[in-house]
Structure 1
Amino acid sequence: MSYQNISSEIEAELHNILNYWSKNTLDEKNGGFIGEIDFNGNKNFGAEKGSVLYGRILWTFSAAYSFTNSPKHFQISERAFNEIKEKFYNSHTKGIYWSINADGSPKDTKNQIYALSFVIYGLSEFYKISKNQQALDLATEIFHSIQDHAYDPVSGGYFEAFTSDWKPIEDMRLSEKDANQKKTMNTHLHIVEAYANLYLVWQNEDLRQSIIEILKIIDQYFIDKDTWHLKLFFDENWNERKDVVSYGHDIEAAWLLLWCAEISNDEVLVKKYRDYAVKITNATLEGLDADGGLWYEYDPQKNFLIAEKHWWPQAELWIGCVNAYQITGDEKYLEIFRKNWEFTKSHIIDGKNGEWFWGINADYSKIRKDKAGFWKCPYHNSRACLEIISRLS
C-alpha cells in the first residue's frame, strides 16, 4: 500500500474519531460532555468530569477545525471552552479544578499542574481558530499561576500539585499508578508542550525563556544518556526514584520536544533535540512486538514486561517514526509506522462502534476499560491523524 493511500485511510479515521465524540459524548442532561462511556458503550451521566478530558477535547476540536472547517467542530470546541471558563476555572485563586461533579459543581479542587497545562494547550489552540480574547487571557493567566506557584526557583523545574489555594499537598500523584514524587517527566513534558503552543499565539519573551529553560531541564535530568529512555520521577532536589520504562512517553517525547525546540527558535536546542529525537525513537523500538504493536511499559529492575498494548502509544509511535524518517531519510521508520497502522486497524480501532479500544492484552483480548472518560480522550489519536496527514503530504 502506498503512503498516499495510508494518508487517505488515516484522514477517514480522523473523521471517524471526531464523529464518535460529536455524536456520543455531548451531555444533553447536565451540559458539557459525559464523564464516562464504558467499554460496552454505556453512558454514565453521573460520572465526575476531569479537566484533563475537557482541555484535550478543546484542543482536539480546535485543531480539527483548522483542518476540516466544520461548523460542528467549531461549536464543540466552543462548548468545551465555555465549560472550562464557567465550571473548571477557579477565579479566586486563578487555578483549574482537577474535576467537577456531573452537575457542574467542583469536586476535586486541587491544582494539578498537568491539568493546568492541558487547559493552556486547549485554550491556545481555540484562540487560533476563534480569536476569542477571553481564551487567550485565561491561557496567559494560568501560565502566570504556574510560574508564580509551581516553578522551583532553587533547583529549577516545576512541582506537581497544590491545594486549590496553592498550598502544599500531601498526595501529588497524577494517578494511582504513579509515584508520589514532587517532579515528574510527564508533567514537564506537557508544561513545555502547552507553553510552546501558547507561544504560537502570544509572543511573550518570558514565555519563550521558560520553554528554553524547561527543555534544558529535560535534557539535564529526564533523558537517560545511557539508555535514551526517559527517567520518570524525582524529588525536589532531582534525586531519581527509579521506575518503569514507558515506551509511549519515550516516543511522544521524541517528536514533541523537537517541536517545542523549533518553536523556541533556539538553534542549539533544535540541533540537540533533532539528534535526541532519533536516539529516543531507536530506544523506543525495543518495545516493538513482532506484530507491529508497541508494548506499554517495561520494568528493568524486575525484568518484567507489562504485556499490554494501549491505544495512545500506538498513535504516538506513528508521529515519532515519521518524524525520525523526516530527520534521517531512513525508510525503516516509515515501514515501522506502516506496520503499526495495520496493527492498529486490526486490534485497536473499533470498526463497529467507533473510537479506539483502550488496548489489548498479550493474548489479543480487549482491555475492557472506558471508551471515553477521565483518561480516555480524543487527543492522542486525533493528533496523530492530523500530524501524519500533514507530514505525509
Structure 2
Amino acid sequence: MNDATQRQLADAYRDALLEDTLPFWLQHGVDHKFGGVITSLDAAGNVIDTDKGVWQQCRFAWLLGELHNNLKADETWLRVAQRCMDFVDRNCFDPLDGRLWFQVTRTGEPLRKRRYAFSESFAAIAYGELAQATGDDLAAQKAERLFRRFLNHHLFSPEAKSKFTETRPMRSLGFPMIGIATAQQLRDSINYPGADDCIDRLIDLIRRFHIREDLEVVLENVGVDGQVLDHFDGRLLNPGHAIECSWFLMQEGQHRGDRDLQQLGCRMLDWMWQRGWDDDHGGLFSFVDLSGKPVSEYWHDMKFWWPHCEAVIATLMAYQLTGDARYARWYRQVHDWAHDHFADPERGEWFGYLHHDGTVSSQLKGNLWKGPFHLPRMQLICSQLLGDRR
C-alpha cells in the first residue's frame, strides 16, 4: 500500500465508476419516457421487468447528485437525478398518509408499501443533494421532513413501528445505522441542524443494545433491553450489515477526531469479518448464527454483492486509520475476491448473486434490491480515501 499502489487503486476505482458502472445505468436503466430509472436488468442491460423500486429512484438520484456536488459538475447527471425525484414527487407518495411506496409500476401506479420507512430515508438524502446542487429550499425542507418521519416511524416516537409484536418485541440494527448514514449525508449536503446530536443518540442505541464486547459480536436483532434472544431471529448475524455500520462509525470518528469511536468501528469489523468470511471458498456469507447453529434462511451461504462493497470500504478505511497491516491484507483479500467473482468485464457492472463457491447464481445486474448504489458508492469512496485528485 505504498503511494504508487494507492494512486493506481484510486485511478482504478474512479475509472470503474465513470467508465463502467455509471455508463451501464445511464445507458440501460434511465427511463426517458416516464422518468426515473428501471433497475431490473439482465447481464447485457436488457430490461426484464419495468416495475420501479422507490429505494432505487432515490438512491440513483442521491448518487448522481453526490457525484455532481463532489466529483465534478455535470448537467447530465443533475438532470437525470432531478427526473428521478420528479418521478417520486408525482407518483411515489401515498396521498392517504404521506408515506412513500416501496414499489410502483413503470408509469408510477402504486403496487406495494412496506412497514419500514427506508424509502423516506433514501428520499431524504436524494433531496439533500438536489438542494445542495440547485439551492432549492423546498428540496432541503423535503429532506428534513422525510428524515424526521423516518426517525419518528422507527426510533424516536412512542408510536415507533416495528415488525415484531409485543409477544417478543425486538430492536433491529438497520434503523439506527441507516439513521446515522442519513444524518451524515444531510449534514454534508444541507447542514442539517441537530445532525450531531441525532448521530449521538443513534450511536448510543447501537452501543447499548447491539454491540456485545463480551461476545465480540454485533447483533442484528435483540430484545428491547439488548438481551440475546435464543431464537432464529435473535441469533441471526448479518456480517455485511454490521461491517457497513462499522465504517459509518469509523467515518464519524474521523470527522470528530474521536479515536474511541474509530476503534469501536474497527472492533466491529474485526468481529464480523472473523464470523462472516468463508475460509473455504472466499467471500462473505449472507448470514451466520451467533451460536454456530444452522440458519433458517436458505440463502445464508450465498455471496451477495453489497456486503463485499461494504467490506472493501471498511477494510480500507480501517487500514488508513490504524496503519495495521492486517487490514491491508483483508482489504486486498476482499477487493480481489469481489472483483474476480462479481465483476463482468465484458458487459459492465457486477452480478449481484453468487453461489457459496463464488460461481454466478443469477444473470441479474439489477432488481428491486440491486441498483446503482452500493457498487458506485464503494468506487467513489475508495477513490476518495486513496487520494484521487484528478
Q: TM-score range by the shorter chain?
A: 0.7 to 0.9
Say if 2:130 is the partner of 1:126.
Answer: yes
Q: Which of 259, 272, 276 lines up with 2:251 in the alignment? A: 259
Say if 2:242 is the partner of 1:250.
Answer: yes
More off after superposition, 229-238 vs 97-106: 229-238
- Amino acid in the other structure paired with 1:116: E
Q: Which of 334, 347, 353 lines up with 2:347 in the alignment? A: 353
Give 5+ residue unaligned stretches, structure 2: none
Instruction: Say if 2:43 and 2:365, in contact at 8 Å, map to a contact too.
Output: yes
Task: Classify 1:304/1:12 alpha carbon distance in 2 versus 1 (closer, same or farther; 3 Å).
Answer: farther
Say if 2:368 is the partner of 1:366.
Answer: no
Residue 288 of structure 1, CA deviation: 2.7
Say if 2:301 is the partner of 1:322.
Answer: no
The equivalent of 1:80 in structure 2 is 84
Distance between the aligned counterparts of 2:113 and 2:123, measured in 1? Answer: 15
Q: How many aligned positions are there?
A: 371
The equivalent of 2:161 in structure 1 is 159
Residue 57 of structure 1, CA deviation: 0.8
Correspondence list, 1:3-14, <5 A: 3-14=6-17
The equivalent of 2:263 in structure 1 is 275
Q: Which of 186, 203, 221 lines up with 1:198 in the alignment? A: 186
SS at match of 1:144: helix
Q: Cα deviation per residue 1:198-249 (whole Å; 9 max; x = unaligned)?
A: 1234445444322211111111011122234321124556555413221211
The equivalent of 1:332 in structure 2 is 326
The equivalent of 1:166 in structure 2 is none
Distance between the aligned counterparts of 1:346 and 1:76, measured in 2? Answer: 31
Distance between the aligned counterparts of 2:216 and 2:307, measured in 1? Answer: 17
The equivalent of 1:53 in structure 2 is 56
Normalising by structure 1, we get a TM-score of 0.84
Identical columns (%): 19
- Amino acid in the other structure paired with 1:340: V
- Amino acid in the other structure paired with 1:282: D
Normalising by structure 2, we get a TM-score of 0.85
Distance between the aligned counterparts of 2:223 and 2:290, measured in 1? Answer: 20
Distance between the aligned counterparts of 2:309 and 2:291, measured in 1? Answer: 27
Q: Cα deviation per residue 1:118-150 (whole Å; 9 max; x = unaligned)?
A: 111222233232322222111111123234544
Distance between the aligned counterparts of 1:103 and 1:314, measured in 2? Answer: 33
The equivalent of 1:392 in structure 2 is 386
Residue 35 of structure 1, CA deviation: 4.6
Distance between the aligned counterparts of 1:75 and 1:384, measured in 2? Answer: 23
Instruction: Say if 1:114 and 1:191, in contact at 8 Å, map to a contact too.
Output: no
Task: Classify 1:90/1:247 alpha carbon distance in 2 versus 1 (closer, same or farther; 3 Å).
Answer: same
Residue 185 of structure 1, CA deviation: 0.8
- Amino acid in the other structure paired with 1:312: W
Task: Classify 1:141/1:273 alpha carbon distance in 2 versus 1 (closer, same or farther; 3 Å).
Answer: same
SS at match of 1:103: coil
More off after superposition, 207-216 vs 30-39: 30-39
Give 5+ residue unaligned stretches, structure 1: 162-169, 172-179
The equivalent of 1:164 in structure 2 is none
Distance between the aligned counterparts of 1:293 and 1:68, measured in 2? Answer: 33
Distance between the aligned counterparts of 1:147 and 1:296, measured in 2? Answer: 27
SS at match of 2:371: coil
The equivalent of 1:177 in structure 2 is none
Distance between the aligned counterparts of 2:361 and 2:314, measured in 1? Answer: 24
Instruction: Say if 1:158 and 1:183, in contact at 8 Å, map to a contact too.
Output: no
Q: Which of 187, 193, 196 lines up with 2:175 in the alignment? A: 187
Q: Which of 142, 149, 154 lines up with 1:145 in the alignment? A: 149
Say if 2:306 is the partner of 1:312.
Answer: yes
The equivalent of 2:212 in structure 1 is 224
Instruction: Say if 2:249 and 2:262, in contact at 8 Å, map to a contact too.
Output: no
SS at match of 1:212: helix
Distance between the aligned counterparts of 1:243 and 1:54, measured in 2? Answer: 33
More off after superposition, 142-151 vs 323-332: 142-151
Instruction: Say if 1:62 and 1:74, in contact at 8 Å, map to a contact too.
Output: yes
Q: Cα deviation per residue 1:261-308 (whole Å; 9 max; x = unaligned)?
A: 566x5x7xx343212111111113213345653333212345348332
Instruction: Say if 2:250 and 2:318, in contact at 8 Å, map to a contact too.
Output: no
SS at match of 2:316: helix
Distance between the aligned counterparts of 1:235 and 1:5, measured in 2? Answer: 46
SS at match of 2:354: strand
Residue 160 of structure 1, CA deviation: 4.2
Instruction: Say if 1:316 and 1:380, in contact at 8 Å, map to a contact too.
Output: yes
Instruction: Say if 2:36 and 2:80, in contact at 8 Å, map to a contact too.
Output: no
Instruction: Say if 2:28 and 2:45, in contact at 8 Å, map to a contact too.
Output: no
Say if 2:221 is the partner of 1:233.
Answer: yes
Say if 2:277 is the partner of 1:288.
Answer: yes
The equivalent of 1:175 in structure 2 is none
SS at match of 1:96: coil
SS at match of 1:356: coil
